[in-house]
Chain A
């Protein structure tokens, strides 16, 4: 692996974990914990994105052990972001946001079985309460769990995609050109 991509991985992981401070400041129900994974994928391809996702889950696990089973979601996110980058969907917010909404559906479909079978839908307070609401509305347990995951993932991934698109367009062209996939993800090639 080229040294530049190796240097990118720890930085991308740290981005995913440090953004929680910005989210806390604006008090929005977002995680943004896949920002580094998506950014690394758009800059350097899905293999680097998968490495960032796995490492993000591992480091997050040291803080909260329930993160580790969701490493699968990080891998799916990296693969999806790789396809979106190759299709040039980060060229503008108009294309990035719908792509992020699509990822929100896929991520919630992936995380629902993990959340249901491993944690009984109790991964966070918000998901537990949304699941309880779904049950109260008469949904089956798995359906109620999906509602909880969907509510937390849908908007989060759209905002994350929009943020990554803004970052790519905020990078100087010379810096972006040093990474193998960045210009293609921005639709510049």
Chain B
């Protein structure tokens, strides 16, 4: 599955939740949930099967399925608390489809391949940069946030007590993080200008993913099926 073109993976992950909401419940939701959960068992969707990410107590091939089930389970609990049986099943199956599709997509889609595919398709380099830079900036800033929390604790900051005390502590933790991040914009701007990003030139992709004709046709068929199902449901 991970060998499919990134746009095909995105199309499948978007189509399944769309079908789950469009098709009549509970049959439609059950079918899409089974397909989505089945996808998590396909080759390439098993991040836990290699090295450090392996999950004790679960066979490697079930790691992605486990993540999907653990993510979806609380929704079933809350739905049961708030709704009757049929509504719980209908909404729960739709949410399960959405969760499983997304978990599967994260497991099989490589951000690098997606950026290469976007550049190859003629998307602006700026848009490709936004995706790639965001995905790399989030873990960096999260690590910095943890360091600031530890540093402020070492200096005697107490994040407990009254709400006012906690809000003061929050200010002492959040301000250094946000201010340092805003100052970083200058460095990033300089780096981007040095690399000619502002000149509007088109980048040549180094390893554009193969987009077979059959996949392109399949993506259009998926879109048409969604539209047909929607029209039939509304009619």
Q: Which A residues have a C-beta under 8 Å from some C-beta of B?
A: 1-4, 6-11, 13-15, 17-23, 25-28, 30, 32, 35, 39, 43, 51, 55, 59, 61-62, 64-66, 119-122, 125, 128, 131-132, 135, 159, 163, 166-167, 170-171, 175, 178
- Give the secondary structure class of A's interface: helix
24 A-B pairs in the complex with CB atoms less than 8 angstroms apart: A3-B189, A9-B134, A10-B130, A10-B136, A11-B141, A14-B134, A15-B141, A18-B138, A18-B181, A19-B178, A21-B145, A26-B167, A27-B159, A28-B167, A28-B170, A59-B135, A59-B138, A66-B99, A119-B75, A120-B82, A120-B91, A128-B81, A170-B179, A175-B182
Q: Which B residues are closer than 8 A to A by beta carbons?
A: 71, 74-75, 78-79, 81-83, 87-88, 91, 95, 98-99, 101-103, 106, 126, 129-131, 133-138, 140-142, 144-146, 148-149, 159-160, 163, 166-167, 169-171, 173-175, 177-179, 181-186, 188-189, 192-193, 197-198
Contact between chains at A15 and B185 (CB < 8 Å): no
Q: Could you count the A-B residue pairs with CB atoms below 8 Å apart for me: how many are there?
A: 171
Q: How far is the CA of A7 from the CA of B185 in the complex (A)?
A: 6
Minimum CB–CB distance for B223 against chain A, Å: 18
Please name all residues of chain A whose beta carbon is closer than 8 Å to the beta carbon of B179 when the two chains form the complex: 167, 170-171
Q: Tell me if A28 and B163 are in contact (CB < 8 A).
A: yes
- B230 CB to closest chain A CB (Å) equals 16
Contact A26 B169 (CB under 8 A): yes
Q: Give B94's nearest chain A residue, CB to CB.
A: A118
Tell me the minimal C-beta distance from B63 to chain A in angstroms. Answer: 17
Within 8 Å by CB of A65, from B74, B98, B167, lies B98
Cβ of B138 and Cβ of A26 under 8 Å apart? no
Q: Are B171 and A6 in contact (CB under 8 A)?
A: no
Contact A11 B98 (CB under 8 A): no
Indicate if the CB atoms of A19 and B129 lie closer than 8 Å: no
Task: Identify the 9 closest CB pairs spanning chains A and B, nearest first.
Answer: A65-B102, A122-B78, A128-B78, A21-B145, A7-B188, A18-B141, A10-B133, A22-B173, A14-B137
Q: What is the interface of chain B mostly: helix, strand, loop, or mixed?
A: helix
A9 to B79, CA, bound (A): 36
A15 touches B102 (CB 8 A): no
Q: Provide the bound-state CA to CA distance between A43 and B126, in Å.
A: 19
Asked if B81 and A13 make an inter-chain contact with CB atoms under 8 angstroms apart, the answer reads no
Check B75–A21 contact: CB distance below 8 A. Answer: no
Report the Cα distance A166→B175, complex, angstroms.
8
Q: How far is the CA of A128 from the CA of B133 in the complex (A)?
A: 35
Nearest CB in chain A to that of B14: its residue:
A68
A158 CA to B103 CA, complexed, in Å: 33
Chain A residues with CB under 8 A of B129: 6, 10
For A120, the chain B residues whose CB sits under 8 A away are 78-79, 82-83, 87-88, 91
Knowing A6-B129, A66-B95, say if A121 contacts B135 (CB, 8 Å): no
Query: Are B159 and A18 neighbours in the complex by a CB distance under 8 Å?
Result: no
Q: Known interface pairs A3-B192, A17-B138, A21-B145. Does A122 touch B82 (Cβ–Cβ under 8 Å)? A: yes
B102, B144, B169, B171: the one contacting A61 at CB < 8 Å is B102
With A22-B149, A26-B169, A28-B167 as known contacts, state yes or no: A17 contacts B141, CB within 8 Å. yes
Residues of B within 8 A of A15 (CB): 141, 177-178, 181
Cα-based distance from A52 to B163 in the complex (angstroms): 30
Other contacts beyond A22-B170, A65-B102, A65-B103: 18, CB < 8 A: A4-B189, A7-B185, A8-B185, A10-B136, A11-B181, A21-B145, A22-B173, A22-B177, A25-B159, A26-B159, A26-B173, A28-B166, A62-B102, A66-B95, A120-B78, A120-B91, A163-B171, A166-B175
